[in-house]
């Protein structure tokens, strides 16, 4: 499978299942109440035993942590709370020793106001960093279509920011600069070109140290006034050419949400996410989500099929269980429906991404005060629940010193308990991952054909195919039995939950709250 003519995805992505780690909340090894590299190393065997083959680590660099580490003050040093650069290198080595891979979180669009680049950019005297950020020519001129900070520098001008006011935007240029505003530089201008080279140097540093690639934060937002994304695609194509020359095996996944653009830019993978009109939330996080048993998957499938067609077979389109920016999956979906949701996530094309704790059904913790810029996201970033010991096994620190408070409910799920229960959510997910990795049709590049998806109707049914292998998936999270026409023959059950399916000529009927994967033949009478 090519992402651009003549270029192919690394082979290990075919069977890849990713596990996302929010490092400050995963496992504390030194008792300071904050997760760290040592804690991640302690739990690598847990992740591998689940069946995951790769990690995505949220930002772990020097930062004032006003946005959970997405406000970087030094791209070349790890934050001391997690450990040293040498500790991270050792983590890379331990990951690779287990036959796994690891991606770091790259934040290319902005830095912290505390970054030395920004401090130099604030000076009145022109220097190498004057054009590293996007500045207007006058303190009184605000950039249209965005926010800015001003009145904090020697230089006369307002600085464009991304998202929070302490995140000044790095300069990748404007797609079509306004001649009346000379501060709007073209994408091939001196300042934007220097920014691209600087980001390449960041990537080179960590790839040489041993990481396997990057997830790029807000990858589609680099070039300003770039409505169609063409300027930003061009920036990433430059970066991909650099990677192809020096690190051809480096894997890139984008937080873009528009695979037709990101994959053309040279990314291997993109997510369908909640902040673009993908209808991802229709499945898991709206008032009546499809996997909550009362929703609709039709709009999502239409958008998914549109994205597949537009991307022209380049790369992988990935659907995560969640991430650090979303409500927990279990906030609106519980019990056996969580299993069915994972039966969907683990039978779709693209590499699945499991957010830490989702495999045990960790809940969104309501009513928490914002921690390090988390705001409404803080409830999805609580400490991993390992066992029933102090602080759920996350840390030996006093409970009031934890990075974020735990879920204090006595029935909170734990990894230890679920590993002992063959019927638990985690055990079901482990089983499904094993099946997926044993059947090419279910893997990242297997084809998909939707057989049944109707507005406000169940079940969702589709075929996964690769070579001679065909697998039918039928998912019914509703409270009622549901039927789907099927002109073929069921050969072998691979996975099921929720009872037994019934077959009559041309029809499969499945029970309420059930999911099935079958090896099948098409065009053969049942």
Q: What is the mean pLDDT of the chain?
A: 96
Assigned CATH for 448-522: 2.60.40.1180
Q: What is the pLDDT of residues 403-456, one digit of tens each?
A: 999 999 999 999 999 999 999 999 999 999 999 999 999 999 999 999 999 999
pLDDT of residue 263: 96
At which residue do the structure tokens 């061009």 appear? 234
CB 153 within 8 Å of CB 164: no
Dump strand ranges (E) for 48-158: 54-57, 61-62, 74-78, 101-106, 147-149
Q: What is the pLDDT of residue 524?
A: 58
| pTM greater than 0.95 (yes/no) | yes
Considering only residues 275 and 513, tell me which one the structure prediction assigns the higher pLDDT.
513
pLDDT of res. 7 = 54
- Give the mean model confidence (pLDDT) for residues 217-233: 96
Query: What is the predicted pLDDT for the residue at 37?
Result: 98
248: tokens are 């051809």
- DSSP-derived secondary structure letter, 168: B
Q: From CA 127, how far away is CA 121, in angstroms rounded? A: 7
- Model confidence band, residue 1 (pLDDT cutoffs 50, 70, 90): very low
Distance CA 68, CA 88 (A): 18
- 172 with 194: CB under 8 angstroms? no
* Protein fold of 2-107+192-436: TIM Barrel (3.20.20)
Confidence of residue 523 (pLDDT cuts 50, 70, 90): confident
What integer pLDDT is reported at residue 276 of this predicted model?
Answer: 82
Taking residues 358-376, what's their average pLDDT?
98
Structure confidence by residue, pLDDT tens digits, 126-179? 999 999 999 999 999 999 878 999 999 999 999 999 989 999 999 999 999 999
Q: For the chain, what percent of residues have pLDDT higher than 90?
A: 94
Residue 275: the pLDDT is 81
Q: Which residue has the higher pLDDT, 312 or 145?
A: 312
* Amino acid 308: pLDDT: 95
pLDDT of 39 > 90? The answer is yes
Span 276-303, pLDDT tens digits: 888 999 999 999 999 999 999 999 999 9
What is the predicted pLDDT for the residue at 145?
Answer: 76
pLDDT reading at 26 higher than 50: yes
Please name every residue paired with 250 in a beta bridge, in sequence order, or none if there are none.
Answer: none
CA-closest candidate to residue 459, choices 408, 512, 411: 512
Query: What CATH code is assigned to 110-169?
Result: 3.90.400.10
| Euclidean distance between CA atoms 264 and 511, whole angstroms | 42
Residue 3 has pLDDT above 90, yes or no: no
- Long-range pairs of 203-208 with CB within 8 A, sequence gap ≥ 24: 203/106, 203/239, 203/242, 203/243, 203/247, 203/250, 204/246, 204/247, 205/75, 205/76, 206/104, 207/246, 207/247, 207/250
User: Mean per-residue pLDDT for 205-214?
Assistant: 98
Sequence spans of domains, the chain: 2-107+192-436, 110-169, 448-522
Checking if the pLDDT of 6 tops 50, the result is no
Q: Which helix (H) or strand (E) holds 393?
A: none
Q: How many CB atoms lie within 10 A of CB 390?
A: 12
């Amino acid at each position: 499978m090519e992402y651009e003519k003549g270029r192919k995805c690394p082979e290990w992505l075919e069977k890849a299942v990713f596990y996302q780690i929010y490092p400050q909340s995963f496992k504390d090894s030194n008792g300071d109440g904050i997760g760290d590299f040592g804690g991640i190393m302690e739990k690598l065997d847990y992740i591998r035993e689940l069946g995951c083959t790769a990690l995505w680590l949220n930002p772990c660099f020097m930062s004032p942590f006003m946005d959970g580490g997405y406000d970087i003050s030094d791209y070349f040093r790890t934050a001391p709370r997690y450990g040293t650069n040498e500790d991270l290198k050792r983590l890379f080595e331990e990951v690779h020793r287990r036959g796994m891979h690891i991606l770091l979180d790259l934040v290319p669009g902005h830095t912290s106001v505390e970054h030395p680049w920004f401090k130099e950019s604030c000076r009145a005297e022109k220097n190498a960093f004057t054009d590293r950020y996007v500045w207007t020519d006058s303190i009184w001129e605000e950039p249209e279509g965005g926010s800015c900070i001003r009145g904090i520098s020697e230089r006369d001008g307002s600085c464009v920011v991304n998202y929070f006011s302490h995140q000044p935007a790095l300069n990748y240029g404007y797609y079509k600069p306004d001649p009346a505003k000379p501060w709007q530089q073209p994408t091939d201008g001196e300042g934007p070109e220097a920014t691209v080279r600087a980001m390449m140097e960041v990537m080179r540093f960590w790839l040489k140290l041993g990481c396997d690639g990057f997830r790029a934060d807000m990858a589609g937002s680099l070039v300003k006034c770039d409505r169609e994304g063409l300027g930003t695609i061009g920036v990433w194509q430059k970066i991909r050419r650099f990677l192809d020359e020096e690190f051809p095996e480096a894997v890139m996944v984008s937080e873009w949400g528009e695979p037709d653009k990101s994959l053309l830019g040279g990314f291997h993978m993109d997510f369908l996410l909640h902040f673009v009109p993908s209808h991802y939330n229709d499945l898991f996080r709206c008032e009546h989500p499809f996997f909550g048993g009362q929703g609709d998957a039709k709009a999502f499938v239409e958008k998914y099929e549109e994205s597949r067609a537009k991307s022209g077979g380049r790369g992988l389109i990935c659907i995560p269980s969640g991430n650090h920016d979303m409500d927990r999956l279990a906030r609106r979906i519980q019990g056996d429906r969580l299993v069915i949701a994972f039966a969907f996530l683990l039978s779709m094309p693209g590499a699945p991404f499991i957010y830490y704790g989702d495999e045990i059904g960790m809940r969104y913790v309501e009513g928490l005060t914002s921690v390090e810029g988390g705001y409404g996201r803080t409830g999805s970033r609580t400490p991993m629940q390992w066992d029933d010991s102090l602080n759920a096994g996350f840390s030996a620190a006093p409970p009031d010193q934890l990075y974020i408070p735990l879920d204090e409910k006595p029935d909170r799920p734990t990894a230890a308990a679920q590993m002992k229960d063959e019927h638990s959510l985690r055990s079901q997910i482990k089983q499904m991952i094993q099946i997926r990795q044993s059947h090419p049709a279910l893997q990242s590049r297997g084809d998909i054909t939707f057989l049944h998806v109707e507005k406000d109707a169940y079940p969702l049914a589709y075929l996964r195919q690769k070579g001679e292998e065909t697998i039918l998936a039928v998912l019914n999270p509703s409270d009622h039995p549901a039927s789907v026409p099927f002109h073929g023959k069921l050969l072998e059950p691979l996975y099921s939950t929720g009872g037994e399916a019934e077959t009559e000529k041309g029809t499969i009927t499945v029970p309420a709250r059930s999911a099935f994967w079958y090896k099948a033949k098409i065009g053969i009478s049942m």
